[in-house]
Structure 1
Amino acid sequence: MGACAAPPTQQPAPAAEGAAVEWGYEGEIGPENWSTLSGNFATCGLGTEQSPIDLSEPAPSDEFGPLELNYAATPITVLNNGHTIELEYEPGSTLTFNGQTYELVQFHFHNPSEHTLTGEASPLEAHLVHRDNNGNLAVIGVFLMLGEANPFLAQFWDALPAAAGETEVEGEINVRDLLPEDLSYHTYTGSLTTPPCSEGVRWLVLRDTVTISQEQVDAFTAIYSGNARPVQPLNDRDLLTNADNVSLR
């Protein structure tokens, strides 16, 4: 499964159809050429609601309520999928947003962050990928800023696979421990940030950030440095925030 790719379903998905097509983040297979690599990737170039975007000037809105997270602990299996470091989640952990419940499928990381804050990227961005019963996706994004070492990451960061494959780590983790206490968010309708760039994804990028040490950043970039798609035009979409204080930080 690629970074921010659609989770597997019982029906063949575009990501699965295009799985054999090589793509990456530079050169002839880089983001500017994704749409030419396969007919299944055409939306990467033709789509008008693409992700990521720059999070500048979100409009305050009371249209959406708070995020309701019901996350349980999951065994630690760290996967290098050829494009990022990903941890799959056991069934049963959920996000409820705007009356719709989504199951947490996996979370993964990008360097630098794919979304930007008024033009500035953070060293890493984590994406928590959720899917509802109809296959619709909701992704929580959280920025990791340089600071103290992140204790959540420390539980498995020494086991990041340098090559494609899996590493199992003793114990369990709960990804709620990665997120800030305040779950205020900026939201918009976008896409997968990797081929096939399918649209209709509900993005929920947290306003508050968490920390990561330079040593932890270096451990990730030793494996994946620059696995981030450039920001895409907002076009006619609404960028909204449920935060009382809408300043970006």
Structure 2
Amino acid sequence: MKFHLVHVMVFLLGLSLCTKAYSNDRTWSNAAATGAERWAELDPAFALCRSGKLHSPINIDTAAPTEQSKLNLNYLSSPSTLLHNGHNLNISPYSKGWISVGPDIFDFKSVYFHTPSEVQINSQRFPLAVYLEHRSQAGKPMMVAILFEIGAKNSVLEKFLSSIPAQRGDVLTLGSFDATQLYPALRDYHDFIGSMTTQPCSEGMRLLVMTTPVQLSEAQLSTLQLAFPKSTRPDQPSNNRTLQVGG
């Protein structure tokens, strides 16, 4: 009982901090007036959105096959919160787990959605990308992007799509969630360094983009698109950065 009360108190504190962050958030979007091309003008803290050299998203068309490390998943099954953050859908599990890529370990943080996908592979943009946010023990960010194509109904996504919060800041509690279930069976990936695709466009983020897409139905995609209109930053120059393929 004591553990349960502590758990609830920690969640409420986190929710309070999130609400405060949203109330102070400057207006930005992917629309023309406050869109990606104007972010650097909205706040001096967003200057990197214009001056950075290793930005995301990019079109992956020059990846060099290499002997990359195996991706090991160690996520925990846990109840989660489902948040409407004003720009997309965010899932945050109570018990998170971690993944490893070779000797590197990354703690799992949260999940969010983009329709359509931001990253492209050989100039192909996918109708949906699900991003899994991680952070190394040294504090360095890492994202895993799982791409989706139209096909069969996705039973994992259905758990979230049937409970999308109605308004910005609304939070719902979900049943058990295991991020492993989002991944394709084949876990080859593209590996490169990029940036956040929202302000302040911080660089130095490692991205693993799964090469094999997962399916969702047309109806599921429509549900997401109605709740969250297009939320994609325009393509950024690759600037000859190193792109590798592994798995």
**TM-score, normalised with respect to structure 2:** 0.87
Measure the CA separation in 2 of the matches of 1:41 and 1:134.
24
Q: Unpaired segments of 5 or more residues in structure 1? A: 1-15, 244-249
Measure the CA separation in 1 of the matches of 2:194 and 2:102.
17
**Matching residue of 1:156:** 160
AA matched with 1:135? G
State whether structure 2 residue 125 is matched by structure 1 residue 121.
yes
Measure the CA separation in 1 of the matches of 2:189 and 2:94.
25
Q: Give the secondary structure class of the aligned counterpart of 1:177.
A: helix
Q: Give how far 1:89 is off.
A: 2.5
Provide Cα deviations, 1:184-205, integer angstroms capped at 9, x if missing partner. 1001000111111100100000
Structure number having the greater strand percentage: 2
8 Å Cα contact 1:80/1:162 also seen in 2:
yes
- RMSD of equivalent CA atoms: 1.9
8 Å Cα contact 1:91/1:103 also seen in 2:
no
Provide Cα deviations, 1:177-231, integer angstroms capped at 9, x if missing partner. 0110111100100011111110010000000110011110111111112101111
**Matching residue of 1:21:** 26
8 Å Cα contact 1:111/1:221 also seen in 2:
yes
Structure ID, larger Rg: 2
**Matching residue of 1:130:** 134
8 Å Cα contact 1:91/1:105 also seen in 2:
no
**Matching residue of 1:166:** 170
Identify if the C-alpha distance between structure 1 residues 179 and 172 changes in structure 2 by more than 3 Å, giving closer, same or farther.
Answer: same
8 Å Cα contact 1:187/1:239 also seen in 2:
yes
Query: How does 1:40-189 map onto structure 2 within 5 Å?
Result: 40-62=45-67, 64-189=68-193
Q: Unpaired segments of 5 or more residues in structure 2? A: 1-20
State whether structure 2 residue 34 is matched by structure 1 residue 32.
no
Structure number having the greater helix percentage: 2
**TM-score, normalised with respect to structure 1:** 0.87
Q: Percent identity?
A: 31
Measure the CA separation in 2 of the matches of 1:234 and 1:98.
25
Q: Give the secondary structure class of the aligned counterpart of 1:76.
A: strand
AA matched with 2:241? R
